[in-house]
A and B are shown apart, each in its own frame.
Chain A
Amino acid sequence: MTKLTYIAHDGTRFEVEAENGSTVMENAIRNAVPGIEAECGGACACATCHVYVDDAWTALVGEPEAMEEDMLDFAYEVQPNSRLSCQIKVRDELDGLVVTVPERQG
Chain B
Amino acid sequence: MSDPKSDAPPAKKPGIRDWAEGVGANINETIRWCGGMAVMFGQAMARGPRRPWGLFDISYQILQLGIRSIPVTTMMSIFVGMILAWQFGEALADFGATNSIGYVTSLALVRELVPTLLAVTVGTKMATGMTAELGSMKVTEQIDAIAALGADPIKKLVWPRLVAACVAMPLLVAWGNVIAMLGGMLISEAVFDIPAGYFYNSYIDELEPIHYVMSQTKALVFGALAGIIGCYQGFSTKFGTEAVGQSTTETVIAVSVLVLIADFALTALFIPI
The judgment on whether A and B are partners is no
Which A residues contact B (CB, under 8 angstroms)?
Answer: none
